[in-house]
Chain A
Amino acid sequence: MLKEGQVRIPAGCAISGIFSRSGARTSGEAIIKSISTMHDRSNGLGGGFAGYGIYPEYADFYAFHVFYDTQAARDACEDFLEAHFDIVNLSKIPTRRHPRITDEPMIWRYFVNPLHVKLEASQLDEREYVARCVIRVNDQLEGAYIFSSGKNMGVFKASGYPEDVGAYYRLEEYSAYSWTCHGRYPTNTPGWWGGAHPFALLDWSVVHNGEISSYDANRRFIEMFGYKCNLLTDTEAITYIIDYLGRRQGLTLPEIAQVIAAPFWSTIESRPAEERARLTYLRNAFAPLLVTGPFSILVGFDGGLMALNDRLKLRSMVVGEKGDTVYIASEECAIRVIEPSLDRIWAPRGGEPVIVTLDKGGK
């Protein structure tokens, strides 16, 4: 049977997120409880979490989380990392044996910064340098896969039910101001660990529920800009689209939402002239990055979180607020189970982004 990345696998899913606007950090227990409520939306073939603010002691270093299939892959990857980065710390990621989490690869963590000389020689922006190195390892080093590469954040994922994955990675030992998680329901193969969500590049992380019908149109466009969609998953393509539009084109998050979940032409035409011109421009200039088909996504980034539905809202997604904490999930029950008395709860409209950021930039 072909592994993920050799064949494209559609998947249905559950997502959940918790964000503290004040920056208060909480352990992974609440998010595990939330996602486990939606157990039936996963089928045990993939689960994962992203936490922001989890590595305050290494906040200025890129945290690489890496899967290795073989010792040889690890050797090759570490050679590559040593040639391109200053590695200040490396260790196995702590895990706990779990009866339902099997076939684990070697899972390592590196805190790194680009080698000064290499970075200067490359004449690239630092983040572009890091992104290129990550893409190169994932594309070219057989058996090595960097699945998390941001600063002061990390992705933890595996094949299994998400609550088991959370227990396996001992997420109760991490504290984050922003948690997202994902339970996966792939349809026709034993999910590969790398294929689980979140999918991440630099500090972007994306969890996604849905199956996008625009996948190959999006993929073939985004690959023109150096991205390699090796996993053939929607989430990977969406992550690269967001990185391209946000980091490389400098679009704001609302503008990114207006590209990937662009308003219908009939809606655009009903807007005032200036707004109409702007929306028409965005939709035309980045037409190949329109994403169609059902999706609800949570995009984590440094200091914030964006939730977005496809423009027809073909996937459920609700948002709740309690004090300065924001909850977002596929189903309301996943929010109520951890916060029964909400100040406010609503279902955002299709294509309408919900963006939350740290108060005062988290200072």
Chain B
Amino acid sequence: MPIDFLYPEYEVIRNPGRCISCRICERQCANGVHLFDDKTKKMTADESKCVCCHRCVSLCPTRALKIVKTDHAFKENANWTGKAITEIYRQAGTGGMLLSSMGNPEPQPIYWDKILINASQVTNPPIDPLREPMETRTFLGKKPGHIERDAQGNIVPNLSPQLALDVPVMFSAMSYGSISYNSHAALARAAAALGTYYNTGEGGLHKDFYGYGPHTIVQVASGRFGVYKEYLEAGAAIEIKMGQGAKPGIGGHLPGLKVGPDISKTRMIPEGTDAISPAPHHDIYSIEDLRQLVYSLKEATGYQKPVFVKIAAVHNVAAIASGVARSGADVICIDGYRGGTGAAPTRIRDNVGIPVELALAAVDQRLRDEGIRGQVSIVAGGSIRNSADLLKAIALGADACYIATAALLALGCHLCRTCQAGKCNWGIATQRPDLVERLDPETGYQRLVNLVTAWDHELKEMMGGMGINSIEALRGNRLMLRGLGLTQKELDILGIKHAGE
């Protein structure tokens, strides 16, 4: 129907003076945008299929291509924007939910950008990380809160299992299935090289990666895909996924077309079946049930591994986190509403949940008010975009941060937000063998190591500027932060002062 026609959002601009019709763009585009016209011997494009992933642009040998946002427009309307109108057409045409991928792209406030960092002047010397030790090693896990001594008066090591992180950054959960084998290979290797951890997500652990177990967090989600004793024992820690920032209140979805033989085996589900995780864990209908699952997992692994509980940042997150802290969890992971996903209903992604900055600040303060901050570590994610976000998160109270979108960007993701189609031209969010092989795990691993190493350098430089030479002295050190352009209410929730105060 004519009303269902939507003018393509992006246009492919080809410089005819530069194009040599080598057809690389055609071969690179899994969406079939580029075509060679035999009659005219020229390249053409069907921009309606273009997702703006820049694969063709990046590989064009003569720099003949660029992608631009179309200037085709609806009549100006601040309320009924072009986006709002086209969404109506799409839903009226299909009767379906709108689907999206990656994090919420809407222009809501980004609190990280309204927080400024302190530096030492005169009364207290900055410390030079090139010349003095600067420590970013972090331990995650419950602290004992009391000293025990043996008959000789020696301190008895009464710590619960801890995870040691050489950098306060881990790779967040992304399942094998939602991303490719090669992506997992790069993440696992990078985590091991960096002295940190990556997270399997809810898709189980491929047999090939058991060797990276000491740097792996194995996830147990509501679908329980790929969960069995060996899997639990393979990881350094176990994460119970209660929720995800991109889609609080619903479970993960992996369409059957992505469930090939390898994924079928890893997830322990038949080939070609949809892997639809239930919205709740069906054995957790309240907090006391969570406690049972936490202890079931601890029993199953002989109390040798810390148990993480990951929750989406929602309105009542502080009280929920307090309950989680009392449920035996060793680490609470808070996932903000800008966190990414391989597929989520657009309305949920863009409207459900709260910013991680506010959630983190509220949780950290609440646990302190209740005197139980030492019982759990806090990991913040969704979304941490750079080392300044990381530093601000730690100063607000996080022990470490999870990154996932940033890690995918390092691997080549261009944030086209079309993961749900399974045709990722960069070999990340796809299971098509010809696409997967575009991502070289060796290069990917090196780029991930580079990214986190660069952030660690920047973190140390900023810490040194503040006169802090160890990460634990930064954690929760909110006096090192000031707000800019925030209301008193926002400042109160963040627990920081305004710039100039």
Contact = CB atoms under 8 A, between A and B. Distances in A.
| Most-contacted residue by chain B among A223, A255, A284 (CB, 10 A) | A284
B124 A221 contact: no
B124 A290 contact: no
Contacts of A291: 473
| Most-contacted residue by chain A among B154, B159, B477, B478 (CB, 10 A) | B477
A14 to B, nearest CB: 15
A173 interface: no
Interface residues of A, number: 43
B16 interface: no
Given A250-B147, A287-B472, A215 B123 contact: no
B125 A12 contact: no
B230 interface: no
Interface in A281-299: 281-282, 284-288, 290-294
Given A221-B373, A251-B147, A293-B468, A266 B473 contact: no
B476 A216 contact: yes
Interface of A: 8, 10-12, 187, 210-211, 213-218, 220-221, 223-225, 249-251, 255, 262, 264-266, 277-278, 281-282, 284-288, 290-294, 311-312, 314
Contacts of B157: 277, 281
Contacts of A8: 479
B127 interface: yes
Interface in B175-226: none
Contacts of B124: 10, 210-211, 213, 293-294
A213 B120 contact: yes
B371 A288 contact: no
A225 B143 CA distance: 15
B368 A264 contact: no
A314 B125 CA distance: 8
A240 to B, nearest CB: 15
B104 interface: no
Contacts of B127: 312
A249 B146 contact: yes
A43 to B, nearest CB: 12
Nearest to B370: A224
A265 B137 contact: yes
B480 interface: yes
Given A10-B123, A225-B371, A294-B125, A217 B467 contact: no
Given A217-B474, A312-B469, 17 more contacts: A10-B123, A10-B124, A187-B122, A187-B123, A213-B124, A213-B473, A213-B477, A216-B477, A220-B477, A221-B368, A224-B371, A251-B147, A262-B470, A284-B139, A285-B144, A287-B143, A292-B470
B146 A211 contact: no
B467 A288 contact: no
A141 B154 CA distance: 42
Interface string B464-499: 001111101111111110000000000000000000
B255 interface: no
B133 interface: yes
Interface in B2-33: none
B150 to A, nearest CB: 12
B100 interface: no
B331 to A, nearest CB: 14
B475 A288 contact: yes
A265 B474 CA distance: 17
B135 interface: yes
B431 to A, nearest CB: 41
B280 interface: no
B480 A216 contact: yes
Given A12-B123, A217-B472, A278 B478 contact: no
Closest 4 CB pairs of A and B: A214-B473, A216-B479, A213-B467, A292-B473
A285 B473 CA distance: 14
Nearest to B467: A213
Contacts of A288: 374, 472, 475-476
Nearest to A210: B124
A291 B475 CA distance: 12
Nearest to B466: A213
Interface in B69-125: 120, 122-125
Contacts of B374: 221, 224, 288
Contacts of B143: 284-287
A265 B159 CA distance: 18
Nearest to A12: B123
Contacts of B479: 8, 215-216
A209 to B, nearest CB: 12
A120 B468 CA distance: 44
28 contacts: A187-B123, A210-B124, A211-B124, A213-B120, A213-B466, A213-B468, A214-B474, A216-B477, A216-B480, A217-B473, A217-B474, A217-B476, A217-B477, A220-B477, A221-B373, A224-B373, A224-B374, A249-B146, A255-B155, A265-B137, A285-B143, A287-B139, A287-B472, A291-B473, A293-B473, A294-B124, A294-B467, A311-B469
